[in-house]
Amino acid sequence: MKFLSSVSFFLITTATYTSALPTTTDSTSTLAARGYSASGPETRYCLWPSRWNVCNKAKGHATEALTAAEQNFPANTLHNGKGDAFRHCYWNARMTVDMGKDTAKTFADLHEEGGDGPQAEKDMDLANNASGRQFGEEAKSGGGNNDDKYARALTKCKNAANSGALKVIG
């Protein structure tokens, strides 16, 4: 019976960490299809109990980045536009502030590796993830608490998206 309880816990936990970067829908596209199957690289990474905390943090930062993108950019830019570029930038900046640049890169790369979208989308996301990690490092050097650092990172990513410094498709 103890074995079955352990297996149940394992399956529930696995389902919880299937994709760190949340998706949204807008009037022109559906992003919900960007989830992962149980065999994806990100999911396999998150199966280890020693990584559950990191995976939970990454998912929380992704949720914050999605919310900020929805609040700061038009819905029609949230897939392959400025809002999407901002979301990836800010997600990686937040992870860098909280968990360090190397952990943020590992997690973001695993996330993109598991995606099944077109190569152009993956290239866009990887470029914006890298910008976000750079901005996260810069935000960390400014001092203050994490909320102060997240605010600086948000401003950097938003300015980069609005000025055309982040990569978009189309």
pLDDT in tens, 130-153: 999 999 999 999 999 999 999 999
Express each pLDDT in 93-127 by its tens digit: 999 999 999 999 999 999 998 878 899 999 999 99
103-107 contacts at long range (C-beta below 8 A, 24 or more positions apart): 103/54, 104/132, 104/133, 104/136, 105/129, 105/133, 106/45, 107/20, 107/42, 107/45, 107/54, 107/55, 107/58
The model carries a pTM of 0.80
**What does the pLDDT read at residue 120?**
95
